[in-house]
Amino acid sequence: SRYYREVLPGEIVKISRYDVQTLDVVPRPEGDPSAFCIFEYVYFARPDSIFEGQMVYSVRRRCGQQLAIEAPVEADLVSTVPESATPAALGYAQKCGLPYVEVLCKNRYVGRTFIQPNMRLRQLGVAKKFGVLSDNFKGKRVVIIDDSIVRGNTISPIIKLLRESGAKEVHIRVASPPIRFPCYMGINIPTKEELIANRPEFHDLASYIGADSVVYLSVEGLVSSVQESIKARQENENSLKTHKSRVGKIGHCTACLTGEYPVELEW
């Protein structure tokens, strides 16, 4: 029978035609907790991926619920830019008791925006990438949930598009904290200067991107959304006294958000 599970951090697995054997689990130095990339949950992974025993989609929905607790707003409907932030938008809408409504649909005949040679073409590309479902939001106050705002370029033309199509107010809520620091663990994050969170515009981000308000999820809110069901499962396993070897401290890398790196940098 087929059996799938995650390979644990530091685990050496031997797979043969007969079975799957754990040969060793190499511990982190000084017994530090492991440091799984938290941005896998926010953005990189497919929503149906399972990490640490939980589905990425469920974590993103919890991030949206947590964002609704931290940053509610008087509005008529909740939506998103299709479709990576949909789980978070559904969580936000559910927690706020507001309807989730589609305001944009993807135009599948347009190429990728990030390969356009300059800023102006990229922004035009973003506007062409979506069709506007104006009947759904004309004269209404809209909350748009995004999964991350990195440079701030992509969201501006979308807000402009919604306003021109009749949105009364456009509030942006971001289901992850601002990225402020580079990643030295292999993720190609833009330079510190390019990150909107480090630029002077960040102090009045709403007017810079043309929104009525912008609020990001807190680092604590993200960490609790990610760790909530891991902790519950560990407590459950502890009480059942099974899988003792697999119960340990939980660790996630939040370096791009906090500047606290899980390893000493040697340069």
Q: Tell whether 12 is covered by a domain.
A: no
17-to-2, 20, 21, 264 alpha-carbon distances in Å: 11, 8, 11, 40
Between 95 and 118, residue with greater pLDDT: 95
C-alpha–C-alpha distance, residues 77 and 140, integer Å: 8
C-alpha–C-alpha distance, residues 170 and 144, integer Å: 7
**What CATH code is carried by the domain that includes residue 157?**
3.40.50.2020
Q: Tell whether 62 is covered by a domain.
A: yes
Residue 227 has pLDDT above 90, yes or no: yes
**Percentage of residues of the chain with pLDDT beyond 70:** 88
Task: Count how many domains the chain has.
Answer: 1
pTM (predicted TM-score): 0.87
Q: Tell whether 44 is covered by a domain.
A: yes
3-class DSSP assignment, residue 3: coil
pLDDT at res. 247: 45
Mean pLDDT value across the chain = 89
pLDDT band at 39 (very low <50, low <70, confident <90, very high): very high
Q: Tell whether 219 is covered by a domain.
A: yes
Residue closest to 113 by CA, chosen among 165, 161, 153: 153
Q: Tell whether 29 is covered by a domain.
A: no
DSSP letters of 105-156?
EE-TTS--GGGSSSHHHHHHHHHHHEEE-GGGTTT-EEEEEES--SSSTTHH
The residue range of the domain holding 185 is 36-110+117-266
Q: Tell whether 3 is covered by a domain.
A: no
3-class DSSP assignment, residue 96: helix
